Chain A
Amino acid sequence: AQSVSQHNHHVILSEAASLELGCNYSYGGTVNLFWYVQYPGQHLQLLLKYFSGDPLVKGIKGFEAEFIKSKFSFNLRKPSVQWSDTAEYFCAVNEAAGNKLTFGGGTRVLVKP
């Protein structure tokens, strides 16, 4: 069975700092990869996704993620965070031929103004 690990449970940053959230998955086959964001009191929204092609994926709100197949990783980055990036971030994976999403445990990010 697949599993997804997010290494940091909580991250606290100041505005303008750079953000990197780690995500590793355990599945040897072809996968689709996602990062979702959940702002306080809101539902999950898709930040970005990777299906194939360029392993550096750009998403909304200045986020990007890099798929490193050899490391089974899909880390999320943002060069300069804003207070409005305070949210919980979830990495998710599904097998390329499947539909079931497996989520990581989430990382709560607090950006101090």
Chain B
Amino acid sequence: EAQVTQNPRYLITVTGKKLTVTCSQNMNHEYMSWYRQDPGLGLRQIYYSMNVEVTDKGDVPEGYKVSRKEKRNFPLILESPSPNQTSLYFCASKQLAGVLNEQYFGPGTRLTVT
């Protein structure tokens, strides 16, 4: 089944404790992206990647890092989480070839930073 998976689905952590949220897709998509969803603000892009070893900042990159060492994986790293990073996070992927393509979303990771 074609899908985007994220782990963990739920995470409660404390300020300053490094964490990684994994994202994996099995559709051989070149493009991958991370979003955070906050009430009333919709989804805002954190980082994206056009291909392996190619990453770039989105609209709200502060406090986050990403890497793209393999095509299927795009982990989101919070080196020193803070309470304002409490949010619902979505990973997405998309095929770049052709123009009639939409993004496919993972199930989300709900992060609480205390």
- Whole-angstrom distance between the Cβ of A24 and the nearest chain B Cβ: 14
Residues from chain A with a CB closer than 8 A to the CB of B103 are 101
Residues from chain B with a CB closer than 8 A to the CB of A100 are 33, 45, 48, 58
Assess whether A44 is in contact with B44, with CB atoms less than 8 Å apart: no
Of chain B, the residue at the smallest CB distance from A34 is B102
- Whole-angstrom distance between the Cβ of A61 and the nearest chain B Cβ: 16
Which residues of A does B touch, CB under 8 Å? 4, 6, 9, 32, 34, 36, 42-46, 49, 51, 90, 92, 96, 99-101, 103-106
- Whole-angstrom distance between the Cβ of B106 and the nearest chain A Cβ: 6
Residues from chain B with a CB closer than 8 A to the CB of A104 are 42
8 contacts between A and B (CB under 8 A): A4-B42, A9-B40, A36-B105, A45-B105, A51-B99, A100-B45, A104-B42, A106-B40
Number of A-B contacts (CB under 8 A): 49
State A20–B105 Cα separation when bound (angstroms): 25
User: Does B113 have its Cβ within 8 Å of any Cβ on chain A?
Assistant: no
User: Does B52 have its Cβ within 8 Å of any Cβ on chain A?
Assistant: no
Main secondary structure of the interface of B (DSSP, over half): strand
Which bracket fits the contact residues of B? 20 to 34
Residues from chain B with a CB closer than 8 A to the CB of A46 are 102
Assess whether B48 is in contact with A99, with CB atoms less than 8 Å apart: yes
Residues from chain A with a CB closer than 8 A to the CB of B105 are 36, 43-45
Interface residues of B in 88-110 (CB under 8 A from A): 90, 92, 94, 96, 99-100, 102-103, 105-108
State A49–B50 Cα separation when bound (angstroms): 22
Of chain B, the residue at the smallest CB distance from A45 is B105
Interface string of B24-65 (1 = CB under 8 A from A): 000000010101000011111100101000000010000000
Assuming the contacts A51-B99, A99-B96, asked whether A90 and B43 have C-beta atoms less than 8 A apart, the reply is: yes
User: Considering residues A34, A100, A101, A105, which has the most beta carbons from chain B within 10 angstroms of its beta carbon?
Assistant: A101
